[in-house]
């Protein structure tokens, strides 16, 4: 099976943006408009079950019923907070406060060198995704990605598969030649809902989620001197690992053979015997 494209989620996948980026910026926005609200690390972890910043604020208002000064209309307040939070977040990014996770730069550079196409599929706002790429990866990094699908580009956010379907459509590729990289169960559901084999790199907020549908689950993408740990999806679970373009190809092949008989048959092969044994050299 040919690997044609890698499709990356942004928040939590490229960088630990949630706890130290978005959460801090939300709290700055609350203070900026005179609210006494504060999202702790633990509370924010719960709110992360809601995808999208505006939706997250709305969920918090509904669940916690925090004090809202009477001069604020709720819809206006949500829109104002979201806009200011994005400004604080982008300012923090521009100051270099958010770093890429291990292996992200390595894999992206390797993919570019080998002609693997790159795309972004995120519920994050476009300006946030671009700011992270420019400051943490390279000033011209947004241009490395053929498609940057972000924010409200599709009506239904993750876990709906819409953003991934949009990316596939823009790339002009079928799902089974792409590999998605995600960090959450929501993101995994979105990617696999579009039929895309998915590698999950967990973080502290997502480690306990269910990733049964993932082709591979790792602690991060891995560096030569800082390998990841395989958590699930390979017979080599528990061993040191690094996701390279070569191993990504093998993950894709094993996943497609194991999960999608239709594609398998269409590919013209008559033997399934390699499906499980091909897992061995995955990492
Ligand atoms: Mg994410």
Give the model confidence (pLDDT) of 22-81 as tens digits. Answer: 999 999 999 999 999 999 999 999 998 888 899 999 999 999 999 999 999 999 999 999
Helices (H), the chain: 17, 23-32, 41-47, 53-64, 74-94, 104-113, 126-132, 162-171, 185-193, 245-259, 261-266, 274-277
- Tell me what the pLDDT averaged over the chain comes to: 89
Rounded to the nearest whole angstrom, what is the distance from the C-alpha of residue 4 to the centroid of ligand 1? 22
Rounded to the nearest whole angstrom, what is the distance from the C-alpha of residue 37 to the centroid of ligand 1? 24
Helices (H), 104-237: 104-113, 126-132, 162-171, 185-193
DSSP state of 226: B
CA distance 228 to 242: 6
Confidence of residue 97 (pLDDT cuts 50, 70, 90): confident
Confidence of residue 130 (pLDDT cuts 50, 70, 90): very high
Give the three-class secondary structure for 212.
coil
Give the three-class secondary structure for 273.
coil
Rounded to the nearest whole angstrom, what is the distance from the C-alpha of residue 13 to the centroid of ligand 1? 5
Return the active site residues: 9, 11
Is residue 225 predicted with pLDDT exceeding 80? yes
Kindly state the percentage of the chain with pLDDT values over 90.
74
Please report, in angstroms and rounded to a whole number, the separation of the first and last CA atoms in the chain.
17
What is the structure's pLDDT at 260?
55
Preceding peptide of 42 cis, ω within 30°: no
Is residue 208 predicted with pLDDT exceeding 60? yes
**Average pLDDT rounded to a whole number, residues 84-99:** 90
pLDDT digits (tens, 9 = 90+) for 4-13: 999 999 999 9
Rounded to the nearest whole angstrom, what is the distance from the C-alpha of residue 90 to the centroid of ligand 1? 17
What is the structure's pLDDT at 274?
37
Rounded to the nearest whole angstrom, what is the distance from the C-alpha of residue 64 to the centroid of ligand 1? 24
Helix axis angle, 104-113 relative to 245-259, nearest 10°? 90
Partners of 7 in the β-ladder: 119, 180
CA distance 99 to 17: 8
Q: Which domains does the chain show, CATH number per domain? A: 5-16+100-282 (3.40.50.1000), 17-94 (1.10.150.240)
Rounded to the nearest whole angstrom, what is the distance from the C-alpha of residue 31 to the centroid of ligand 1? 26
Is residue 270 predicted with pLDDT exceeding 80? no
């Amino acid at each position: 099976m040919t690997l044609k494209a890698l499709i990356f989620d942004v928040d939590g996948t490229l960088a630990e943006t949630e706890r130290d980026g978005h959460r801090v910026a939300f709290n700055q926005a609350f203070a900026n408009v005179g609210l006494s609200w504060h999202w702790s690390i633990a509370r924010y972890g719960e709110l992360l079950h809601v995808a999208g910043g505006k939706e997250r604020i709305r969920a918090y208002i509904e669940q916690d019923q925090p004090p809202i000064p009477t001069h604020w209309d709720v819809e206006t307040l949500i829109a104002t907070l979201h806009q200011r939070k994005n400004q604080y977040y982008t300012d923090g990014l521009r100051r270099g406060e958010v770093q890429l996770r291990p292996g992200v730069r390595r894999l992206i550079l390797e993919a570019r060198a080998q002609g693997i196409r790159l795309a972004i599929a995120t519920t994050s706002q476009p300006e946030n995704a671009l700011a992270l790429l420019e400051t943490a990866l390279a000033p011209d990094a947004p241009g490395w990605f053929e498609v940057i699908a972000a924010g409200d580009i599709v009506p239904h956010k993750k876990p709906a598969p819409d953003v991934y379907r949009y990316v596939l459509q823009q790339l002009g590729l079928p799902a089974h030649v792409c590999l998605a990289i995600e960090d959450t169960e929501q993101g995994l559901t979105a990617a696999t809902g579009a039929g895309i084999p998915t590698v999950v790199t967990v973080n502290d907020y997502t480690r306990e989620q269910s990733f049964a549908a993932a082709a591979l689950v790792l602690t991060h993408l891995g560096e030569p001197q800082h390998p990841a740990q395989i958590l699930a999806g390979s017979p080599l679970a528990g061993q040191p690992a690094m996701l390279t373009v070569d191993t990504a190809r093998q993950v894709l092949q094993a996943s497609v053979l194991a999960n999608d008989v239709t594609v398998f048959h269409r590919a013209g092969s008559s033997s399934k015997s390699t499906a499980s044994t091909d897992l061995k050299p995955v990492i």
